[in-house]
Structure 1
């Protein structure tokens, strides 16, 4: 799915949040301004060939467009604008999970079956210029472990003068990791939060 289609979904699923925080009239203005902001960003969005890169990147432009519309067009202060944008992303994420419960089951299979993990890692290590760059890790206690050394979301947001939007997209990883039972994500840092790498360690949850 394209970032523009994701933007439409986030605006739809997060509309009740916009109405609650801004009122009906301003919520309608947000919808219009966010689409205008997205159109202004569209030419600068990378055109990845890899489906994995496209999938991992797709929520970045919508988050940025909504944040810019709130902060610059509607005059919402930076902190509340970030919080509202993240709340709308979370509303979208929850709806997606409720509509597609098999996504959580698929992640569960990947984390538990070695052949599935090997296939996933192989696809991640196929690099594309300007795309996400993954490196293998060697944590014996983690069924699935890897590092992200380059993130186009961080590059894109910095070029647009809004690196502060990236952490909210990163936090969705934590929510997705809660779905498989008995597995948890341990991560000491993230590129979007100023670390030198994103260290993903999926480990067996402690009982």
Structure 2
């Protein structure tokens, strides 16, 4: 359980009770419960899918090799919640970005699915301000530096959203450990003043 309630703009997510799973050792394929996320480009066209196989009791990921797997054309694209125009919050994992979205429901978000893909994320031509929800590790630092440089070169203002210091690597860790109100209180001071009111409104 990731502590994310409610999930907004959930058209990008689906649940399948028996999603096809092929073990890496060549054993017989199985049908297992999974969360399926649709990956889209800036125009909303589907380019791929990301699957997370779940434990039967819903307590976490399935105890299998590589419980997260993606397919399709992923580079530059992402799992989107809300429509980005002038402002966008971008980050890596789906659960991380859903946590940010729960705290800042008025801002559109996108999960690029990995640090490498976050660095290569394609940005809307109308974008004026980009928040990068950075993971607190070396890969997250590198992704932030690369995407920040690209956005700045395009004339886009870049602001970092950083998780709380301590034993937490991402915003879902924050949410589970401290709760939604504390996560919201930590994120709001990191916003540009003109986005504070918008962030609290449901999109």
Q: What TM-score, normalized by structure 1, do the two folds share? A: 0.23
Q: TM-score, normalised by structure 2?
A: 0.23
> Which protein shows a greater Rg?
1
